[in-house]
């Protein structure tokens, strides 16, 4: 796993082969963050992010590296959570709060709002198509915030009331959402 940009640029972290999580590829991650710069300035003071289904923490460390003030990283697997904690210890940051929890349960009880939310659930997760609704029902996104959902090609979100755009990089699909004006 490699950090693409920011203060930890080019840092590499060896993901154990036994992990089930598939880190977002460097190609997809780099393209995603290129698009995100049109929406958000992670360097701006006080920007907060939520990384749901964090897996290896690839997106979490990228957010911290790019200047995010606070990143909450949710991962259910204990080994993956420990790996994320270890990565954050290695870079000596306290700006990422890794939490070992079920992401869907966390959504319903988070009790705070974020400027940016990223979710990379297992593509076979039966609740995957419900995640945008859950994010907006529970008010997790700030009014000017952005929610990005990584998913397989079988899911389509263009008809969702908060949908903004879709990007595909190889087999990786990202759907972008913002709070609806309705």
User: 51-80 pLDDT, tens per residue?
Assistant: 999 999 999 999 999 999 999 999 999 999
End-to-end CA gap in the chain: 40
Q: CATH code for 43-177? A: 3.40.50.150
Distance between alpha carbon 136 and the CA centroid of its chain, in Å? 16
- What rounded mean pLDDT belongs to the chain? 93
Beta-sheet pairing, 141-151 with 172-177? antiparallel
Distance CA 77, CA 144 (A): 31
Residue boundaries of the structural domains of the chain: 43-177
Mean pLDDT, residues 140-148: 96
pTM: 0.95
Phi, psi of 66 (to 5 degrees): -85, 0
Q: Quick one: which of 4, 182, 8 has its CA closest to 87?
A: 8
């Amino acid at each position: 796993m490699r950090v693409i940009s920011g203060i930890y640029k080019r840092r590499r972290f060896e993901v154990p082969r036994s992990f089930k999580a598939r880190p977002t590829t460097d190609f997809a991650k780099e393209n995603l963050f290129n698009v995100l710069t049109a929406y958000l300035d992670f360097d701006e003071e006080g920007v907060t992010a939520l990384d749901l289904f964090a897996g290896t923490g690839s997106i979490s460390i990228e957010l911290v590296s790019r200047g995010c003030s606070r990143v909450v990283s949710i991962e259910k697997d204990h080994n993956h959570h420990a790996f994320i904690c270890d990565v954050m210890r290695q870079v000596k940051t306290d700006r990422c709060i890794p939490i070992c929890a079920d992401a869907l349960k966390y959504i319903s009880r988070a009790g705070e709002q974020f400027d940016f939310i990223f979710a990379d659930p297992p593509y076979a997760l039966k609740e995957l198509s419900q995640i945008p609704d859950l994010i907006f029902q529970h008010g997790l996104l700030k009014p000017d915030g952005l929610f990005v959902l990584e998913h397989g090609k079988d899911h389509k979100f263009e008809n969702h009331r908060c949908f903004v755009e879709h990007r595909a990089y190889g087999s990786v699909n990202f759907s972008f959402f913002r709070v609806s004006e309705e």
